[in-house]
Structure 1
Amino acid sequence: MTLKLRSAGASDRGLIRSGNQDALHSGTWLVAVADGMGGMAAGDLASAIAVGAITPLDVETPEDVLVAALQNGIKLATERIRQAVAEDPQRQGMGTTLTALLFARTGSCLALAHVGDSRAYLFRDGVLKQITRDDTFVQMLVDQGLITPDQAGSHPRRAVVTQALQGDEVSPTYATMVPRAGDRWLLCSDGLSNVVRADTLAEVLAGQREREACARGLIDLALQAGGPDNITVVIADVVDEP
């Protein structure tokens, strides 16, 4: 038996925004969420560029090159965003978050890449854990002990990211982990995590085993909470298959 990744994703523009600047990839080996910023067309473009740059990684990859593959994908995304800004100066300032998970062909390892404030959560043995750390101004305040995590959720500057893919040098976070059968990963834009509590996320992840329905159920909760932003969700399950 070999561990495999099975995923499903969904996205919604929410109830306030006129368009959707998020992008996602939900594949066999790779899952990713990107949240664009910097004006309507430019935000759309930045997130699409980022996801487009790493989508070719959705292939069987040896575990010893997982991180290098993600690094190369992010480097390509950065170059393409830089080129897009050079082609049209009105795109100056556009950028995107990116959170991506790449599963090894052997099923023995996975790698995670993260920049910005889209999140990756791991639901394992009934416990939900946020794996990524937000690259945001309020997270810096939390780290410095100036505000509590609860205060961060309602802080007026909670949407201010401290780094994103914008065509210049960036320092993404990379990590590797050993997957287990039964693990459930949630990747999401802040349109979900800003308005739905972690304990509620855990309840849905535990209660709805069907991936597509789980993704839609989480989006529905964000909409019920006002849907102030675009909402993107990817559910990825680690399964034991022959």
Structure 2
Amino acid sequence: MTLKLRSVGASDRGLIRSGNQDAVHAGPWLVAVADGMGGMAAGDLASAIAIDSVAPLDVETPEDGLIAALQGAIGTASARIRQAVAEDPERQGMGTTLTALLFARTGSCLALAHIGDSRAYLLRDGVLKQVTRDDTFVQMLVDEGVITAEQASSHPRRAVVTQALQGAEVSPAYATMVPWAGDRWLLCSDGLSNVVRPDTLAEVLVSYPDRTACAGRLIDLALRAGGPDNISVVVADVVPEDAA
């Protein structure tokens, strides 16, 4: 059985921020979320550069070329951000997270690239798993056993990222996985994951089979929780080739 990816993306400014520094891509082969940082104009630009750099990957890619394709696109994004800062020194410090999922043309493999604190979750057989690891100060503390994951969720420095695309050398995380029919992926900025609990995310992903309705419900929940940040989500389903 040949598998395909079907996806929907949505983004909302939230209730506090004056603009939206997030950017998303939801296509048949590639899905991605970027969360810009470093001031309004610069954050917008950084996330847009990241998504514009990976968007050309939304084509049929052979299994053995997935990681290399993502590495190349992220290298391009980093170079473009570096150039943007060189053109305008006031952009110094701008950057963006990036979480991207690239589906192989055969449907038998997918690759994930991640840097920053946007997240990728996989719902498989009704169980939700966070696949990415946050590049944050508090995650470092959790890894070292200094604080618990529960304490991290309300830590005053939870927004401090330890890695992002800012034009310098970085070490994104890459992974490959075998997709299953029925898998549902959620990619999101921290405007969702910081205010909506994982068990609630799982409940919505299970309860709303329609991707558009599911994405809308997730954003609505983040807004109901105060919407303190920009909120971006991509809901992507692994389906048989002949499915809608």
Determine if the TM-score, normalized by the shorter chain, exceeds 0.5.
yes
Q: Please tell me the residue identity of whatever aligns with 1:25.
A: H
Residues in 1 aligned to 2:54 and 2:153: alpha-carbon distance in whole angstroms: 30
**1:17 and 2:17 matched:** yes
Partner of 1:156: 156
User: Aligned with 2:60: secondary structure?
Assistant: coil
2:139 match: secondary structure: helix
- Partner residue, 2:191: 191
1:93 CA drift (Å): 0.1
Aligned equivalent of 2:44: 44
C-alpha deviation, 1:193, in angstroms:
0.1
**Secondary structure at 1:226's aligned position in 2?**
coil
CA–CA distance in 2 between the matches of 1:241 and 1:227? Answer: 37
Query: Following the alignment from structure 1 to structure 2, what is the Cα–Cα distance between the partners of residues 241 and 94?
Result: 40
Matching residue of 1:90: 90
Which residue in the other structure is 1:222 paired with? Answer: 222
- AA aligned to 2:23 is A
Partners in 1 of 2:17 and 2:216 — Cα distance? 19
Question: Which whole-Å CA distance do the structure 1 matches of 2:127 and 2:49 have between them?
Answer: 34
1:100 corresponds in structure 2 to 100
In the alignment, the residues of structure 1 paired with residue 209 and residue 18 of structure 2 have an alpha-carbon distance, to the nearest angstrom, of 32
In the alignment, the residues of structure 2 paired with residue 87 and residue 80 of structure 1 have an alpha-carbon distance, to the nearest angstrom, of: 11
- How far off its partner does 1:241 sit? 1.9
Q: SS of the counterpart of 1:174?
A: strand
Separation in structure 1 between the aligned mates of residue 93 and residue 241 of structure 2, nearest angstrom = 45
Query: What one-letter code is carried by the residue in structure 1 that aligns with 2:219?
Result: I
Q: Which residue of 2 aligns with 1:145?
A: 145
Question: In the alignment, which residue of structure 1 is the partner of 2:77?
Answer: 77
Unaligned 5+ residue runs, structure 1? none
CA distance in 2, matches of 1:9, 1:213: 11
Q: Which amino acid aligns with 1:98?
A: L
Q: Hey, what does 1:4 align to over in structure 2?
A: 4
Pairwise CA distance, 1:239: 0.1
- In the alignment, what sits opposite 2:130? 130
| 2:177 counterpart residue number | 177
Q: Number of aligned pairs?
A: 242
Residue type matched to 2:195 in 1? V
Distance in 1, matches of 2:133 and 2:174, equals 11
Secondary structure, aligned partner of 2:159: coil
Alignment TM-score, normalising by the size of structure 2? 0.99
The residue that corresponds to 1:204 in the other structure is: 204
Q: Structure 1 vs Structure 2: percent identity of aligned residues?
A: 82
Q: Distance in 2 between matches of 1:18 and 1:124?
A: 36
The CA RMSD measured in Å over matched residues stands at 0.4
Indicate the SS of the match to 2:10.
strand
When normalised by structure 1's length, the TM-score is 1.00
| CA deviation vs aligned residue, 1:101-142 (integer Å, no higher than 9, x gap) | 000000000000000000000000000000000000000000
Structure 1 runs, 4 residues or longer, greater than 2 Å off: none
Is residue 33 of structure 2 the alignment partner of residue 33 of structure 1? yes
SS at match of 2:11: strand
What amino acid does structure 1 have at the position aligned with 2:192? L
Q: Offset of 1:30 from its aligned partner?
A: 0.1
Describe the SS at the equivalent of 2:174.
strand
Q: CA deviation at 1:58?
A: 0.1
Question: Residues 141-194 of structure 1, C-alpha deviation per residue, up to 9 Å, x if partnerless?
Answer: 000000000000000000000000000000000000000000000000000000
The aligned counterpart of 2:54 is: 54
